[in-house]
Amino acid sequence: MRFCLLFLAFLPCFAFTQTSYEDSLNLFLKKYVADHEVVTGNDKQKMKFYPVQQQYRINAVFERKENSPWFMMSTSGNTKQQYRVYGIIRFNIYDTAVALHIYQSRSLMSSEKYKEHLFIPFTDLTSGRETYGGGRYIDLNISDISNNTYVIDFNKAYNPYCAYTTGYNCPIPPKENDLAVAIKAGELNYTK
Asked if residue 123 lies in contact with residue 173, where contact means CB atoms within 8 angstroms, the answer is yes
Annotated domain spans of the chain:
2-177
Distance, in Å, from the CA atom of 145 to the CA atom of 135, rounded to the nearest integer, reads 23
Q: Where are the beta strands (DSSP E) in the chain?
A: 57-64, 71-73, 81-93, 96-105, 117-122, 136-141, 149-153
- CA end-to-end span of the chain, whole Å? 57
Residue 192's pLDDT is: 77
Residue 180's pLDDT is: 96
Give the pLDDT of the chain (192 residues) as one tens digit per residue: 444 444 444 444 444 445 689 999 999 999 999 999 999 999 999 999 999 999 999 999 999 999 999 999 999 988 999 999 999 999 999 999 999 999 999 999 999 999 999 999 999 999 999 999 999 999 999 999 999 999 999 999 999 999 999 989 999 999 999 999 999 999 999 987
Distance, in Å, from the CA atom of 106 to the CA atom of 96, rounded to the nearest integer, reads 32
Q: What are the DSSP calls for 97-151, one per residue?
A: EEEEEEEEETTGGG-TTTTTEEEEEEB-TTBTTTB-TT-EEEEEEGGG-BTTEEE
Residue 19's pLDDT is: 66
